[in-house]
Amino acid sequence: MWIKAGDLPLYTRTLRDRSAGAPPVVLVHGLGVAGRLMLPLAEHLSAYREVYVPDLPGFGKSPGPRRALGVSGLAGCLAAWARSAGLRRAAFLGNSFGCQVAVELAVRHPELVDRLVLQAPTMDPAARSCGRQVVRWLKDLPGERASQAPLSLADYRSCGLRRLLATFRHALRDPIEEKLPRVRAPVLVVRGTGDPIAPRRWAERAAGLPSNGRLLTLSGAPHALVYARPDELARAILPFLRE
């Protein structure tokens, strides 16, 4: 379906749950890709919750303004989208750059956020440069599922090189470590031990910055757990979502 975020329509996949009353879950995709990369996780979670998977403005099937939006602009659109969708309060799960958007949303619009799951959050302050991030990304590639590559490349082509690079620059400049202490909702940071983009030291620090944060580690898992290990990730986070 299409749900408006202000003047921008966001393409949104909705998976219905088998129960009622629990807060829905919104999945926020990472840099350059689109919501379809989150669908394997969405399918597992939809057995327990209503799940929404929007394409952020300028990515996937969602149109965007000519100028790439930064983290605050994307979070503002996500807040407007949530209100248009009638979501009074939801759990938000971000992957990679999607964590930065979700944290910004939780700080600026706390009334919308029931809890946060940050799966492999970026950007590690110890590697806040284009070169270091590219090196880490290349190290991660062999651990990801082979079927992810064509999906990601198609999404990169769809959003365009200019928007991809501009959004990447915005992500590098976003001080997520300064925002995490201001998040009031419960926060669960999830990291795979095979993830070089969100290393253990940074994941531990990120989980310790919110007043109500914790860390969950999955053995041998890569950066994109939402696609590579969706069943394992869903089982691991369900107790947190049910609290």
Dihedral (C-alpha) 195, 170, 35, 163: value to the nearest 10 degrees?
Answer: -120
Structure tokens at 101: 């958007």
| CA–CA dist 212, 198 (Å, integer) | 20
What pLDDT does 16 receive?
82
What pLDDT does 67 receive?
93
Do 28 and 56 touch, CB atoms closer than 8 A? Answer: yes
Kind of pairing between the strands at 187-192 and 213-218:
parallel
What pLDDT does 21 receive?
74
Cis peptide bond upstream of 38, omega within 30: no
The single residue listed with the structure tokens 């925002």 is 179
Tell me the whole-structure pTM to 2 decimals: 0.96
DSSP assignments along 85-152, one per residue: TT-SSEEEEEETHHHHHHHHHHHH-GGGEEEEEEES-S--GGG-SHHHHHHHHHHHGGGS-TTHHHHH
Kind of pairing between the strands at 90-95 and 25-28:
parallel
Average pLDDT of each block of 10 consecutive residues along the chain (243 residues)? Answer: 94 81 93 96 94 97 94 98 95 98 98 98 96 96 94 95 96 97 98 97 98 96 96 97 92
What pLDDT does 20 receive?
62
What pLDDT does 136 receive?
96
- Using alpha carbons, select from 243, 143, 122 the residue that is nearest to residue 189: 122
What pLDDT does 225 receive?
96
What pLDDT does 22 receive?
85
Neighbours of 113 (CB within 10 A): 26
The single residue listed with the structure tokens 């580690």 is 217
